[in-house]
Amino acid sequence: MSDKKRLGEFELIERFFAPLSGEGAFGLKDDAALLKVTPGKALVVTQDAIAEPIHFLPGNPPDTIAKKALRVNLSDLAAKGAVPTGFSLALGLGEEWREDWLEAFARGLAEDCRQYGLKLNGGDTFRTGGGPVVSITAWGEIDPDHYRSRLTAQTGDRLFVTGTIGEGALGLLAHAGKLPSLSPETGAAMERRYFVPEPPVAFAPLIAEFASSSMDISDGFIGDLEKLAAASGFDAEIAAGDIPLSPEVREILSGADIPAEKALETALTGGDDYQLLFTVPESHVASFLEKAQKTEFAVTSLGTVRQGDGKVVILGDNRVPLGFASTSWHHF
Ligand code: ADP
Ligand code: MG
């Protein structure tokens, strides 16, 4: 749209982002934001960036790009036991950026601001040499004694996971047209899970109350479990059949589009799950489960962790350990 007059940086911020701004952000007209913190609480802060063409592709719906950029951060906060209270946005736009792209992006962000009760507190807008880059920093308040790190699981704690695993990675395959046997509805639902993850944000208070260690699953269930196990110093042995899978993922595993082992490997190592992996001391498991059952979130027990140095073994049929080429997604 080189022939049309472009919005300038300040008009752009004013039109698309100022309406999302909250108290202390001065309508995004100042140099910074002034945020109040409840006395006695601490802030948990996290940042995640996504860039074209690594995390999304030209032509992907901009509203979903905005939502994913925000939600991957909300997933990290939930993993630490924090409910989000605000965020900032650094947005890089390429030479060829279009106003309709930005309008859809801002609409998606506005929808999620409503959904999660959040305001935009500031950011930066800049030009990139390539396509769009979206970096979000999000924060939430926490009682500092209830911050849940990856490092603090104890031998004998019970390992849990929220939700189901594999829809994100297999949703990407559905989007790439590699799962043609799926019904159009199932294929679309799977793609949606890839484009717009649904981290269990409202589960954070249970993590804060009960977990001994916690992390979110972004790069792959097995690889991320290995990270948790290495950080805390435990080994885990899990029956593949105990890992929670949705009916759609089971349908793909038993379908003809890709070999079952390949489909399982994608589900367990492909990433984009944005579920929580955490441990609970055995003495608290009963009260944890009682409270968890009153939420909208499913939790699955994956057994007890034992003394170790980060080994994770997934057992297939007849308890034979499964082998995987790679246990998670790597950038480099
Ligand atoms: P400065 O150059 O003084 O750092 P900017 O001109 O980059 O400030 O930004 C002006 C104001 O607009 C600031 O309040 C900043 O937080 C806000 N802002 C800029 N870009 C964005 C964005 N993409 N999202 C939200 N707020 C933004
Ligand atoms: Mg300034």
Structural domain boundaries of the chain? 3-146, 158-319
From the CA of 30, how far away is ligand 2's center (Å)? Answer: 6
Out of 3.10.110.10, 3.30.1330.10, 3.40.50.2000, 3.30.70.2740, select the CATH number for domain 3-146: 3.30.1330.10
Look at strands 234-239 and 312-315 and give their pairing. parallel
Q: Backbone dihedral region of 306: left (phi > 0), alpha (psi from -120 to 50 degrees) or beta?
A: beta
Look at strands 120-127 and 42-51 and give their pairing. unpaired
Whether the predicted pLDDT of 171 surpasses 70: yes
pTM here is: 0.95
Nearest CA to ligand 1 atom 7: 124
Q: Do domains 3-146 and 158-319 have the same CATH topology?
A: no
From the CA of 92, how far away is ligand 2's center (Å)? Answer: 17
**Average pLDDT score over residue span 294-302:** 98
Which pLDDT belongs to residue 1? 42
Spatial distance between the Cα atoms of 306 and 284, rounded to a whole number of angstroms? 17
Look at strands 312-315 and 275-280 and give their pairing. unpaired
Name the band, by pLDDT with cuts 50, 70 and 90, for residue 5.
low
From the CA of 70, how far away is ligand 1's center (Å)? Answer: 17
What architecture is the 158-319 domain classified under in CATH? Alpha-Beta Complex (3.90)
